[in-house]
Amino acid sequence: MKLPSLPRFTMAEMLFSVKCFLAAVLSLYVASRVGLSRPFWAMMTSYVVASPLAGTVRSKAVYRVLGTLLGSTATLLIVPALANAPELLTLALALWVGACLYLSLLDRSPGSYVFMLAGYTAALIGFPNVQTPQTVFDNTTLRVEEICIGILCATVVHSVIFPKGLAPAVLGLLDGAMKHTRHWIQELLSTGAHNAGASAAHETPKPGGLSADRSLVAGDITQLRLLSTHIPFDTTNLRWTAGAVGTMQDRIASLMPTVSAVEDRLLALEQAEGGLAPDVVEMLGRVAAWQSQLDIHAPHAERARMHAQLREEIQQFATREWSLHGDWPRLLRVALATRLAELVDAWDACMRLRRDIDAGIRGERQQSHRLASLSHRALHLDHGMAFLSAFAAVLAICLCGAFWILTGWPVGSAATMMAAIFCCFFATMDNPVPAIRSFLKYLLWSLPLSIFYVLVMLPNVQDFGMLVAVCAPVFLLLGCYMARPRNMMAAMGILMGGFFGTLALYDTGTVDMITFVNSIVGQIAGIVAAAVVTALVRTVGVDWAARRIQRANWKELSELAQPTASARQLDAYAVRMLDRIGLLAPRIAQAGGKIDGVAKDMALRDLRVGADLVSLQRQNIPMESARIAGVLREIGRYFALRGSDSAGARLTPGLLAHIDEVLGYAAARPDSTPQWRGAVTALVGLRRNLFPAAPAALTSAASPEAAMTTS
């Protein structure tokens, strides 16, 4: 019989576990020495804020302190005022938790932890003090002191003892996004519209092809956005580059609609002319060669010269007379040149920012002019799902509180606390119930270990050194598993769910089997209540969530078609749309690769439409402003109906006729100003994205009817 092998941990995992344990012991010692009554709260807090990256520990420390102070203040205002009305007190605390959870879900950054913690901190302090409101101030003060000690000890240990900086992870994601974007651009420029044609015809994309690169870019940017919020707290010079990293994220995000538009214009030219003409292939080759030769370490003057030369070549390509090709191919070339120029400018800006980041890490002066980052302010927000999550938390807490009040259950406060915590922890998931069940399973797994400590180990502890020695095996082993993302949930469930609960009983001098069992039953009841209420009120399927994200795209497109849309709104839309693509990708994969009415390629098309809408509103073709306003109005009405899931949403033949009429007027103009090229590019893009099956020529009003699609 083969014996089970012992777990093998890396040096990094063991080092992380040792640092976590040292921080926990230090916080326990300090809290005990200053005479705090619940020193194990400090010890548990040191594990809550622990992370392999020092910058993450420091940011979580700041957020936890702020959240604790906010939640404690709310407790001091609510509990004494409603101490004589337990029903109102329960409702007030439940509403506070719900309001904080709602705000937390609308702040999709690590800073959302402030609101979430403020919510369930009030529950953790308030409910145990319902029967003794006269002690609420003392208990709240002790809670804040214990948490601050745990945070301080964890921050010191993880920042001083072999700190692990964010730079490798951040730069790895940043370079990964650049690599995947470069690969997408190079393959597109070298193969023309071949892969674009397969994508537009909805064929299965080749492995490792353009579609794969799009998904990888979206995934890299989403991960980078989450990680980069910790950069200002890093222990290295990386913290001085937060602005450049944020701006570079936005630049890469803005490349998505541009590259996708180039891809579509190449496909349109291939369809219109039976293949890519030599002049187009030559232009693509020059852009590809420029990108291949571009080096972030090259002298600034040399890079500027190469960039200016290529921009001049693109300008010449856009202003040539294409009388031999016809009006439609001419307009397609203008649109292609405009998007190529945008691609070149954006890629050059990314390279400058990447060099700037390297300079900042080395402590050198950063030369690039950086704009305020949009990445943390222009993300997809779902107010409806946030409200449902908050309502589920309020309902679960009220149900547990009602049962507690009606039965006089001594451990009813434990149930209400756990209901609040678990409704908050997993609220970002489409279906939080499996995660809540898993945590409950790990809590039950911890019971034998907890009972062993209650009955055997803790009663024999005589001093601080013995307590540390008794706890060390469990903490060190679970700390190693905490360093592994796939095992972190299990380790936290065992450690936080059961083991620290036992040590908290040791704090109060009530280490006995009866109290232990009652406490566990209360915790289980609260977790079950959170799971049941969440399943009934707030759980949604991945297909429903994906379609909801898609409808949010359409609603925003209807807003972009309004006269008030601005360039700043376009930049925000590009970031938000890329974020939505990142949200759609795992849901589509989870649904087996296909969801009716939802596709990543459709999301990219919507991204291009948004860029064209706002670009068109920035231009003005003389004597045609009323016609353009009509085009925008019809497009806005169409996407508004799609966003409301209306059965009457359809593209009309009249819209295609209006677009062709304006394009026909534009094609007849002899001038080629930047304003004219911008308007033509936007109109060509709208025609291609909204009517991809339309004949590849400017047609009369009769042709659009035959070309209509309902996509």
How far is residue 213's CA from residue 321's CA, in Å, rounded to a whole number? 35
8 Å CB contact between 50 and 154: yes
Count of Cβ atoms closer than 10 Å to residue 170 Cβ: 25
Count of Cβ atoms closer than 10 Å to residue 194 Cβ: 16
Q: What is the pLDDT of residue 35?
A: 84
pLDDT band of 710, cuts 50, 70, 90: very low
Least confident piece of the model among 95-109, 324-338, 565-579, 628-642:
565-579
**What b/e sequence results for 362-397 when a residue is b if at least 16 CB atoms lie within 10 Å of its CB, and e otherwise?**
eeeebebebeebbbbebbbebeebbbbbbbbbbbbb
Q: What is the pLDDT of residue 169?
A: 84
Average pLDDT of span 454-480: 85
Count of Cβ atoms closer than 10 Å to residue 658 Cβ: 21
Single-letter amino acid code for the residue at 592: G
Residue partners of 647: CB distance under 8 A and separation at least 6: none
Least confident piece of the model among 516-530, 612-626, 651-665:
612-626
* Proportion of the chain above pLDDT 70, given as a percent: 82
Is residue 555 over pLDDT 80? yes
Q: What is the pLDDT of residue 300?
A: 76
Is residue 598 over pLDDT 70? no
Least confident piece of the model among 109-113, 547-551, 553-557, 573-577:
573-577
Q: What is the pLDDT of residue 366?
A: 59
pLDDT band of 514, cuts 50, 70, 90: confident
Q: What is the pLDDT of residue 193?
A: 42
Is residue 371 over pLDDT 50? no
Give the highest mean pLDDT range of 208-212, 250-254, 291-295, 523-527. Answer: 523-527
pLDDT band of 24, cuts 50, 70, 90: very high
Q: Report which of residues 645 and 492 the model is more confident about.
A: 492
Give the highest mean pLDDT range of 140-154, 365-379, 658-672. Answer: 140-154
8 Å CB contact between 368 and 353: yes
Is residue 203 over pLDDT 60? no
Helices (runs of H) and strands (runs of E) counted in the chain: 28, 0
Average pLDDT of span 381-389: 89
pLDDT band of 326, cuts 50, 70, 90: low
Q: What is the pLDDT of residue 207?
A: 33
8 Å CB contact between 263 and 210: yes
**What b/e sequence results for 39-53 when a residue is b if at least 16 CB atoms lie within 10 Å of its CB, and e otherwise?**
bbbbbbbbbbbbbbb
Q: Which long-range contacts (CB under 8 A, 24 or more apart) does 282-289 make?
A: 283/313, 283/314, 283/317, 283/336, 283/337, 283/340, 284/189, 284/190, 284/192, 285/189, 286/310, 286/313, 287/189, 287/314, 287/340, 287/343, 287/344, 288/185, 288/186, 288/189, 288/190
How far is residue 501's CA from residue 421's CA, in Å, rounded to a whole number? 14
Is residue 200 over pLDDT 60? no
Is residue 325 over pLDDT 60? no
* Proportion of the chain above pLDDT 90, given as a percent: 16
Q: What is the DSSP string of 472-533?
A: HHHHHHHHHHHTSTTTHHHHHIIIIIIIHHHHHHHHHT--SHHHHHHHHHHHHHHHHHHHHH
Least confident piece of the model among 45-49, 502-506, 625-629:
502-506
When the pLDDT of each residue in the chain is averaged and rounded to a whole number, the result is: 80
Supply the angle between the helices 112-126 and 136-160 in degrees, to the nearest 10. Answer: 140
Strand, coil or helix: what is 696? coil
Candidates 546, 541, 550, 543; CA nearest to 711 is 550
Q: Report which of residues 656 and 700 the model is more confident about.
A: 656
Least confident piece of the model among 75-84, 280-289, 354-363:
354-363
Cα-based distances in Å from 81 to 77, 84, 132:
7, 8, 13
pLDDT band of 703, cuts 50, 70, 90: very low
Q: What is the pLDDT of residue 551?
A: 85
Q: What is the pLDDT of residue 56?
A: 85
**What b/e sequence results for 268-306 when a residue is b if at least 16 CB atoms lie within 10 Å of its CB, and e otherwise?**
bbbbbbeebbeebeebbebbbebbeebeeeeeeeebeeb
